[in-house]
Amino acid sequence: MELKTIEKEYVDIPTLVAVGSVSTVLLIVVIFATQAWFYYEQKAEIASKEAANPNWALRDINLKQHEKINNYRWMDQKKQIAAIPIDDAIKLTAKSLGR
């Protein structure tokens, strides 16, 4: 009857730790990159949908505001109070302060 000898297997701990660490870092980088890519695509999708379907109410409000600030008009005609275009108001203000 022969006795068998069992040899111990050598486990390379430093290599195992290095491979595990690199794999963990790569996994985290892939997760963050995938999430960033998702947010980029989501933002692009929202922008394309907004461009395809403009907000007409907002457009009308902006047009009315531009009309108010770029034209002469009466604020109160009885009191003789008038509004002037914003560019003229800026020039007059700068002129009066620059005496």
Together in a domain, 40 and 62: no
In a domain, 21, yes or no: yes
3-state DSSP helix/strand/coil % of the chain, to nearest 5:
70, 5, 25
- Tens digits of per-residue pLDDT, 33-78? 999 999 999 999 999 988 877 788 888 999 999 999 999 999 898 9
80/73 Cα distance (integer angstroms): 11
Mean pLDDT of 24-38: 98
Together in a domain, 49 and 67: no
Together in a domain, 29 and 41: yes
Look at residue 8 and tell me whether its pLDDT is greater than 80: no
Cβ burial of 37 (10 Å; 0-12, 13-18, 19+) is exposed
Together in a domain, 11 and 36: yes
Host domain of residue 82: 55-99
84/80 Cα distance (integer angstroms): 13
Look at residue 97 and tell me whether its pLDDT is greater than 70: yes
